[in-house]
Structure 1
Amino acid sequence: GTMLFGKRLEVNFSKHPNITQGPDTHEYMNSNLNRFNRNAAKNYRYCCSPTRIIHVSSLPQDIIEIELASLLVEHGIIFNCKVFEMNGKKQALVQFETEEEATEALVCKHASSLSGSVVHISFSQLLNI
């Protein structure tokens, strides 16, 4: 499991063949927030366990490190933030002090809007920036 909002989050297979969904249940099967509903094979190779480093893509072309850091700093201490361009698109790597802080930033800011762009966030497989 991993820590999220101060509590341990664990995901396990259910022993029940069917589950009755409660009123607070949210279905993400056909949502654009579900990264496995399209191009699953392409996205699968980029999936990894939570880490202290997140990869942020679909950034505005004029973004600078301080702007991105100001969007994410409410979720924890940022050790390093590096904005770069690859194939003409702005991306960034952001390193938090803890895995929990990076997880919270991903959960709260994935698919959020930044200067008119909808940002995408995933965990990075890199160990350092």
Structure 2
Amino acid sequence: MKLEELQAFLRQEFPQVAEEFRVEEAGEELALRLIVAERHLRPGGTVSGPAMFGLADVAFYLALLQRIGPVALAVTTNCSIDFLRKPAAGCDLIARARMLKLGRVLAVGDVLIWSEGMDQPVAHASLTYSIPPR
């Protein structure tokens, strides 16, 4: 799937959150932007852990779909996330997802998340997805 197709798929299948995300790049790595709003913040003005977890999950999901096509029922079977540093206040987050292994049944990869304007990542996630039989 191409960049425009991924964004359209997100709008069609997940309209409740589609406007929060923008696919920035689709290729060897997939880049996804979380457009940070007040609802993503926790006390102290930083982006919440659940918002970063969601960004990592959606980024890897789209990275998988760009390889296997629009399979809505591919699902997360495992995710581990390390929060490395505090994101910059009021800045969008950018996730870069890469596929480490794509098999018939499982896909494994990782996602690095940056806060716009920062040189070091703010989080790292490792994910495994289950691919339904075709």
- Normalised to the residue count of structure 2, the TM-score between the two structures is 0.29
Q: Which has the higher strand share?
A: 2
Q: Higher relative contact order at CA 8 Å, sep ≥6: structure 1 or structure 2? A: 1
Q: Which has the higher helix share?
A: 2
- Normalised to the residue count of structure 1, the TM-score between the two structures is 0.30
